[in-house]
Amino acid sequence: MPAIVPLFTNPCYPMPVRLLICDLDGTLVDSFRDIVTSCNLLLASLDAPPLADERIRPWIGRGVGYLVHGVLREAGLPADDDTAFVSQFRALYRQHALDETCPYPGVRESLRRITEDGGGLSIAILSNKPERATREILEALQLSTFFTLIAGGDSFEEMKPSPVPVLRIMEILGTPAAETAILGDSVYDLQAGKAAGVQTIAATYGFQPVEMLKALEPDYTVSAFGEVLNIPGILP
């Protein structure tokens, strides 16, 4: 297994990690095609042509409202009052969320290894996707049992890149920042983690460009989920 790449050295690290907070889309599961399909079905219902993948990609990761607003704008459609379109997208996505979505290679095996050999380490999910959809995907893919806590973009008063959901999860699970790490494929994950004072791990195999992630100087980068096992403090 390739070694993880430490990019930024904090003198407090490495310390044993008692809580690993994971993003969902682009980190644990490859859901890109189903998100794009749902976006283009929304546009088709509005008699608009489909958008290319790369015009949709930048809008993924900051919640459904942000995604729908961005897609409408990219398609040249009015996006000032998009509440109804958000509801319509949610209905479409619910129908197609599991058409092609699947765990990235090594996810199931690595989660099992962490839960069995992690010395009591807890794993939480923090997605900007609504909590209900997050749970449905994890349950359908038989991943939900690995997580102590599952949270979505509507679980707390704010969503990533705010540190609030990270801080709330640490509070609920009784884990200090010094013993917490967040893993994600977007700048929103890293920004939330840094603002909360936890270790940050960038997943470079996900949806956002590697250069954007490295610009935020994460503590570690991983090019496959299984490389998380090599990060100091994850396994005893």
If 0-12 CB within 10 Å is exposed, 13-18 middle and 19+ buried, where does residue 169 land?
A: buried
| Span 63-94, pLDDT tens digits | 999 999 999 999 999 877 778 899 999 999 99
Q: Give the pLDDT confidence score for residue 83 in this predicted structure.
A: 83
Q: Please, which residues have CB within 8 angstroms of residue 4's CB and are 6 or more apart in sequence?
A: 220, 221, 222, 227, 228, 230, 231
Q: Give percent of the chain with pLDDT exceeding 70.
A: 94
Active site residues: 23
pLDDT mean across residues, the chain: 92
Mean pLDDT of all residues in 28-49:
97
Record the pTM.
0.91
At residue 106 the predicted structure's pLDDT band, cuts being 50, 70 and 90, is: very high
SS (H, E, C) the chain: CCCCEECCCCCCCCCCCCEEEECCECCCEECHHHHHHHHHHHHHHCCCCCCCHHHHHHHCCCCHHHHHHHHHHHCCCCCCCCHHHHHHHHHHHHHHCCCCCEECCCHHHHHHHHHHHCCCCEEEEECCCCHHHHHHHHHHCCCHHHCCEEECCCCCCCCCCCCHHHHHHHHHHCCCHHHEEEEECCHHHHHHHHHHCCEEEEECCCCCCHHHHHCCCCCEEECCHHHHHHCECCEC
Cβ count near 171 (within 10 Å)? 9
Which of 32, 12, 13 is closest to 24 using CA atoms? 32
Residue 3 has pLDDT above 60, yes or no: no
Residue 7 has pLDDT above 50, yes or no: no
| Residue 204: HSE in the Cβ half-sphere, 13 Å Cα cutoff | 19
| Span 169-182, pLDDT tens digits | 999 999 999 999 99
Residue 15 has pLDDT above 60, yes or no: yes
Cβ count near 50 (within 10 Å)? 15
- Measure the CA–CA gap between 64 and 90, rounded to whole angstroms: 8
Q: Give the pLDDT confidence score for residue 5 in this predicted structure.
A: 45
List the domains of the chain with CATH numbers.
Answer: 5-30+101-230 (3.40.50.1000), 32-96 (1.10.150)
- Measure the CA–CA gap between 60 and 56, rounded to whole angstroms: 7
| Span 110-148, pLDDT tens digits | 999 999 987 789 999 999 999 999 999 999 999 999 999
Q: Give the pLDDT confidence score for residue 117 in this predicted structure.
A: 87
